[in-house]
Structure formats: C-alpha cells, structure tokens
Amino acid sequence: MTNENHEYKLLYFDLPGKAEHIRYIFAYAGVEYEDERIQKDKWPEIKKNTPYGKVPVLEIDGQQVAQSNAIARYLARKFGLLGQTEWEALQCDVLVDTLGDLQAAVMQVMKEPDPIKREEIRARVTKEELPFYLSKFEKIVQENGGFSVGNDITWSDLVFAVLLDQFESMYGKTALNGYPSLKGLKDKVHNIPSIKSYLEKRPPKSPMPRH
Amino acid sequence: MTNENHEYKLLYFDLPGKAEHIRYIFAYAGVEYEDERIQKDKWPEIKKNTPYGKVPVLEIDGQQVAQSNAIARYLARKFGLLGQTEWEALQCDVLVDTLGDLQAAVMQVMKEPDPIKREEIRARVTKEELPFYLSKFEKIVQENGGFSVGNDITWSDLVFAVLLDQFESMYGKTALNGYPSLKGLKDKVHNIPSIKSYLEKRPPKSPMPRH
C-alpha cells in the first residue's frame, strides 16, 4: 500500500451502486481507506450527519465530501487517473457522464414496479439504448487501442469495468459478445493485480433493491 | 473580447436548460463563441450528427464534445473559474452536482402530466427539498463571504446564479427572501458587466417544455 498522508473513510451501503468506482480507484492506486458499508438499521442516524442526506460520502481527514463523481474525479486527479492532458480529463468526464445516462436508462427497468411495464421497458432498453451506447463506446475503445481515453488507464476505464460488469449480471454473460473491445477493456481492468485482489476480497454482492 | 485561439460553437435549444451556465462561462470570460439555438424542425437532422443524440454539444475547432457539465468544467478550468486549488475544484463539483439533485427534484414538478399529482409534488418540493438544500447553500455562501467556493468567483457561482434565477421564475420573486446570501450571490453574478451585457442581449426566454 502506498503511504498516502491522508486518512480516507468511504461511507456507502453494502452495494456497488454509486461507490464501486471509488473503491476501484482506491484499489488501483493502492491507497488505504476504510470501506464502511452501512447496514440498513444504521442509515437513518448516519444520514442526518451527511452533508446532503445522501451517500457516498468520503471523509478526508475527517472532512466530509459528498457526490459520487466529484469524489471519484478528485481522487483520480490525485492518483494520476485523469489522463495526460486537460483534453483527456474532459474525455473522461464525457464518457463517465454518458455511462451515467446509459445507467439511468437501465435503472428505469429496476425502478418500474409494474411487471408488465417493466418487461416493456427492459425490451426497449435492450433493443435501443444498450446497443446505441455500447456500439459507440466499442468504436472509441477500439480506436484507442483498448483504452476509453488516450493510450493509458484512466478513471473512465474503471467506471467502464464496473458498469459493464453490472450489465453482464443483468443481461447475462453474452451481453458483451458483440463488443470485443469493451469486453477486453473490462477484462483488462479486472486483471490489474490490485483490482483483482480487491475483487477477491470484496464482500459477496448484495442483491440490488428492486422496489 | 479576449482573443482565444479556438473556434467555439455551442449547439443547444433556444432555452436556458442544460446550456445556460456554459453561456455564462463564455460571457464571463469574454470569449467569443457561436451560440447556435436549434429550432425544433431542425433538431432531428442535427441530432443524428451529435455524439450521443443529445445536446448541449460544444464544437471546439470543429471537434464535437458532449455532456453539459463536462463542457462547463473544461471551459471553467481553461478560463480560471475552477477555484485556486484542486480542493476548491472539488467543492465546485460537489455543489454543481448537488444543485443538479435539487434541480432534478424541481423538474419532477414540470414533468408530471397529471395536474393534481403535479400540485402534490410541487407542494412537497416547496416544503421539503427547496428549504433543505437552500438553507445548506445559504450557510456555505454566508461562511465564504458571498462566494459558493473559496473567496473568489468560480463556475459554481455561475451555476448558482442560473438556477436561483430559474427558481425565482418558478416560485416568484420572494422565493429567496429567507436566503439573503444566495440572493446576494445571484445579484453579484448578474451585475458582473460581461454577464449583465449577455443578459441584456440574450433572446427572450422561450417557455419551458412542460412534459
């Protein structure tokens, strides 16, 4: 572990959700942090003491910072995962936000309480949003020789790995069959020794809330 | 106007929406750009040629960049509106994303087609989300002596000015009466000569889409 002169504590639920890419960034950088996974009965009390009633929150030397991607971007800059130029930092931001748009479409499926409507939305997302975005991402990663931005690893690659993994959980292991560069990117990230070691040690996945 | 060595063209609808803070950033920096306001009948054709089927898109020397806040953050860094340290840049990101959360709550009202449900949501947002967030923001701006981050203007202040203005349009001129520091921040931004001059010249507000 790198000796970083700060004390980090990440507050989030026992879920990947909006914190998993932050955990990957810490793992990649080899920086120690406390990975506090909040149990449901503790949440109301913890919630009151967060800046805006939400998690993830990162405590840096006791100082609380809110907002998932604000935290991730800050750590990415600190740990050299933001690309080599401001132009590459911009490309990371664009891809992370666009992955967020795709994830929001996918989450519509999870959020729909009516099972018939849920299947309709799932069918639409599977037929429209997923191939639309994935084919664009595939092209970018292919053109960059296996990276989402530039020619080296960035936090955008880690966000890709987390989300592509999630899509495979939801849509089956064949979900990325038409996207060899994306599959390659995901596998490459998951084979980085520090990430691999984190994945082996992380708690078993809790089921995602379905409402 | 500053002679910036790049050619900028902003594509968005004739609305504040997700582009107004980008227009403020250009105005503040005194950098020329083409403010292309897409008319409805042109949108299907333009949409096809955007990176992800959405706007705003910023063309920098003909190269297209997607994602509202990715664009804004990049320009903010270029034009010195990102704070004086990476810690301040982080605080800007946290506030911009948190303002986004508040805006999403407010937009629920606009998006609800059923008039009875719409009034219910409006009542809840007025009673809960708005005072929750605004009182927290008020405290921050007060503690910083009139700025949302640090002791000088940042892109976060411009985002505040745009959104607070929007809240006043929606909830009436008294909406910020309990928040003197926020009102002061909004007025301060709107009295910056370059912003003031932009506001005087900008096209009259189109009505916001209600669904």
Residue A127 backbone phi and psi in degrees, to 5: -85, -30
Give the pLDDT band (50/70/90) at residue A18: very high
Query: Which positions ≥6 away from A78 have C-beta within 8 Å?
Result: B86
What was the ipTM of the complex prediction? Answer: 0.94
User: Average pLDDT for residues B22-38, to the nearest whole number?
Assistant: 97
Q: Taking 80 as the threshold, does the pLDDT of residue A204 lie above it?
A: no
B7 touches chain A (CB under 8 A): no
pTM of the model: 0.94
What is the rounded distance in angstroms from the CA atom of residue A2 to the CA atom of residue A30?
Answer: 6
Nearest CA among B132, B158, B154, B146 for reference residue B183: B146
Task: State how far residue A53 is from chain B, nearest Cα, in angstroms.
Answer: 10
The two structure tokens encoding residue A56 = 């993830």
Percent of chain B with pLDDT over 90: 85
Instruction: From chain B, pick out residues whose CB is under 8 angstroms from the CB of A66.
Output: 94, 97-98
Beta carbons of A98 and B69 less than 8 Å apart: no
Share of chain A above pLDDT 70, in %: 95
Rounded Cα distance between A148 and A100, Å, is 15
Contact assignment for B69 to A93 by CB distance below 8 Å? yes
What is the structure's pLDDT at B202?
87
Please report, for chain B, the start and end positions of each structural domain, with discontinuous segments joined by +: 8-80+195-201, 86-191
- The b/e string for B109-126 (b: 16+ C-beta within 10 A; e otherwise) is beebeeeeebeebbeebe
Average pLDDT, chain A: 93
Give which of A161, A120, A136, A74 is closest to B66, Cα–Cα: A136
How are strands ordered across the β-sheet holding A34-38? A34-38, A8-13, A57-60, A63-66
Q: Which CATH architecture has domain A8-80+195-201?
A: 3-Layer(aba) Sandwich (3.40)
Model pLDDT for residues A56-95, shown as the tens digit of each residue? 999 999 999 999 999 999 999 999 999 999 999 999 999 9
Test the B interface: residue of A22, A54, A57, A74 with most B CBs within 10 Å? A74
pLDDT at B204: 73
Query: In terms of pLDDT, which residue wins out, B210 or B44?
Result: B44
Reading the block at residue A199, the tokens are 């994945």
Name which CATH class applies to B86-191.
Answer: mainly alpha
Phi-psi region at B53: left, alpha or beta (left = phi > 0; alpha = psi -120 to 50): left
| Predicted pLDDT at B203 | 79
Confidence of residue B209 (pLDDT cuts 50, 70, 90): very low
**Averaged pLDDT for residues A168-193:** 94
CB–CB contact B98 A69 (8 Å): no
- What is the pLDDT, as a whole number, of residue A209? 46
Burial, A49: exposed, middle or buried (Cβ in 10 Å; 0-12, 13-18, 19+)? exposed
